[in-house]
Amino acid sequence: MATNTQHFQKTSFLSFSRIGVIASHTFTQLVRMKVFYFLVVFVILLWAAKQIILPNQTGGDGSPEQELRLLKSTGFAAMNMFSMLLALSATALLIPKDIEDRTIYTILCKPVPRLDYLLGKLLGVLVLIFVSLVAMDLVLSFFLHQKASGMIALQTEQLVARGTPQEVINEQLAGLKAHGLTINIHFATIAIFLKAIVIASIALLISTFSSSTLFTLILTLIIIVIGLIQADAREYATMMAQFGEQNKLSNISLGVAIFFPDLQFLSIEDGVIDGRNVPMSIMLQISMVAILYFAIYVVLSWFAFRKKEF
């Protein structure tokens, strides 16, 4: 066919400014849904966890690390729950709602490539999760620092009163400091965010071909559960194989590993709760894996969405 087109503004395949417009709009949309109220609940929860004094601590002879562990595990559990819920529900809801309300017509009828629309929506959700996690990280850091420094001061006072040498005091406090506010807390927050990125991109992929929000939510939830337990299944299958028992489970777990994300691999919070250090190499590894999952799911979403009819 002859291309006797008149002057048309060429629309670039990918425009960061357009993606930014959609992302900031999605962010505002979610903020106005009052999702940040969760932060108030988070502050109350951590404040309550900070007040808890375990029975074996009252005499001051037990392991004070337990209380810090409790504070950290409460904080990370709440952060995980919030980011997972938001990544799942917000992403699963946004596109089907736009289709249902027909707002998608008015957007896609502007010079907006579908990839820009998808990325904008996804980034809007991710920015919201990021901002929330940063806020929660600050709250956790504040409470943890307060509790740990209080404990360190008390322990130092008790040990000095007993006439303990400085080297012994330093040695005893090192364990407590490792459970206090360290860079590992922030690394764990980053890992939670990486998990949220993967979950949100799975929800995005499913919402591009699903016709109902409920179906998207349920299917994404199933994938999350598979993602959280698949490492255990794989380990079990490997162990069975070592004993020469090649059963169906080995094959299934191998298949699952190919098609579903390993969310357990991205979880480093347990180690941080136990006061262990997170090497930079692990952070790099999990970041690469999360980005790879993100890229795969976004490309698949785009393939499903680019020819979708409304």
Partner 1 sequence: MSESSKMKSESKPAFAVEIRNLVKTYRSSFKRETFRAVDDVSLSIAAGEVYGLIGPNGSGKSTTMKALLGLVAPTSGICNVFGCDARRVDARSEIGFLPENPYFYKHQTAAETLKFYGKLCGIRGKELKNRVDELLDLVSLNHARNRRLNGYSKGMLQRVGLAQALIQNPKLLVLDEPTAGVDPIGSREIRDLIFRLKEDGVTIFLCSHLLEQVQEVCDRVGIIFEGQMVNEGTLEELTSIESQHELVIENADDSLLESITELVKQHSSSGAKLVSSGKPRSSLEKLFIETANSRIKNSKENK
Query: Which of 85, 107, 219, 298 is in the footprint of partner 1 by CB under 8 A?
Result: 107
Helices 213-242, 183-209: axis angle to 10 degrees equals 120
Stretch in the footprint of partner 1 (CB under 8 A) among 5-13, 125-133, 250-258, 274-282: 5-13
- Work out whether 9 is an interface residue with partner 1 (CB under 8 A): yes
Nearer to partner 1, 283 or 304 (CB): 304
- Over its C-alpha atoms, the chain yields an Rg (Å, rounded) of 24
SS3 assignment, position 220: helix
User: Please, are residues 250 and 237 in contact by the beta-carbon 8 Å criterion?
Assistant: yes
Measured between alpha carbons, how far is residue 258 from residues 200, 205, 234, 288 in Å?
19, 17, 11, 16
Closest separation in Å from C-beta 134 to partner 1 = 23
Query: CB neighbours (10 Å) of residue 107?
Result: 16
- Work out whether 111 is an interface residue with partner 1 (CB under 8 A): yes
User: Please, are residues 94 and 125 in contact by the beta-carbon 8 Å criterion?
Assistant: yes
How many residues comprise the chain? Answer: 310
Closest separation in Å from C-beta 231 to partner 1 = 37
- Work out whether 37 is an interface residue with partner 1 (CB under 8 A): no
Query: Which of 18, 121, 179, 234 is in the footprint of partner 1 by CB under 8 A?
Result: 18
Query: Which of 32, 163, 243, 248 is in the footprint of partner 1 by CB under 8 A?
Result: 32
Cα–Cα nearest to 26, from 84, 145, 81, 107: 107
Nearer to partner 1, 113 or 261 (CB): 113
* Chain centre distance of CA 181: 20
User: Please, are residues 115 and 15 in contact by the beta-carbon 8 Å criterion?
Assistant: no
- Work out whether 140 is an interface residue with partner 1 (CB under 8 A): no
Sign of CA dihedral 182, 287, 217, 230: negative
∠ at Cα 191 (171, 290), nearest 5°?
140
Q: What DSSP character marks residue 6?
A: -
Stretch in the footprint of partner 1 (CB under 8 A) among 2-10, 128-136, 166-174, 243-251: 2-10
Closest separation in Å from C-beta 210 to partner 1 = 14
Query: Which of 108, 240, 282, 289 is in the footprint of partner 1 by CB under 8 A?
Result: 108
Nearer to partner 1, 109 or 161 (CB): 109
Stretch in the footprint of partner 1 (CB under 8 A) among 26-34, 60-68, 196-204, 239-247: 26-34
- Work out whether 238 is an interface residue with partner 1 (CB under 8 A): no
Query: CB neighbours (10 Å) of residue 297?
Result: 22
Query: Which of 51, 56, 106, 277 is in the footprint of partner 1 by CB under 8 A?
Result: 106
Window 64-103: residues binding partner 1 (CB under 8 A)? 101-103
Binding site for partner 1 (CB under 8 A): 1-12, 15, 17-18, 21-22, 25, 28-29, 32-33, 101-103, 105-113, 307, 309-310
